[in-house]
Amino acid sequence: MEVRVAGSPAEVDAALELRHRVFCGEQGVSPAADQDGRDPEALHVVAVEDGLVLGTCRLVFDGTTAKLGRMVVEREQRGRGIGAAILREAEVQSYAAGAARIALHAQMPAHELYVRAGYVDRGSLFYEEGIPHVAMDKRLDA
């Protein structure tokens, strides 16, 4: 498996399709909430194996903060460490782009993944699209 920035428009399209299957199909998120218009400006990180995108997240930069969002892993591939690998690559890419920190909204079922990667809760539980989340962030160091 290779985790890297999407290398073509086709890989970005595959990442968007995966997001749609997970967020809209599995979790009942509205397509409008997933497709917020920020994808063209985002950096898309993908986990690819045998030509298939198995996981993805996107990074949107705001000054020295990288906003990590839309992280998903194909249902049948969960538990293989793909999410952790995507987080590591997102941190590498964010640091290389000049970010000093990464901020995200973690779905509570995935909260421990982020805690293990060194992210810290910033605030109280809240709901997005009916799903419990918590804001988290992590400082990026050399």
How do residues 90-131 score in pLDDT, each as one tens digit?
999 999 999 999 999 999 999 999 999 999 999 999 999 999
Find the mean pLDDT for residues 14-35.
92
51 alpha-carbon distance from chain centroid = 20
Look up the domain containing 49 and give its range: 2-101
Residue 119 has a pLDDT of 97
Residue found under tokens 């049948």: 76
- Is 111 inside any structural domain? no
Residue 106 placed within a domain: no
pLDDT of 35 > 90? The answer is no
CATH number of the domain encompassing residue 26: 3.40.630.30
Q: Are 97 and 90 within 8 A, CB to CB? A: no
CA angle 99-46-116, nearest 5°? Answer: 65
Over residues 8-14, mean pLDDT: 96
- Continuous H helices in the chain: 9-19, 31-34, 82-96, 111-116
User: Which of 54, 71, 59, 46 has the alpha carbon at shortest distance from 96?
Assistant: 59
Per-residue model confidence (pLDDT) at position 142: 57
Angle subtended at Cα 80 by Cα 16 and Cα 55, rounded to the nearest 5 degrees: 10
Number of folded domains that form the chain: 1
Residue 134 located in a structural domain: no
Of 55, 38, 73, 58, nearest to 2 (Cα)? 55
User: 142 lies in a domain?
Assistant: no
In percent, how much of the chain has pLDDT > 90?
93
Please indicate, yes or no, if residue 71 is contained in any of the structural domains: yes
Domain assignment of residue 23, yes or no: yes
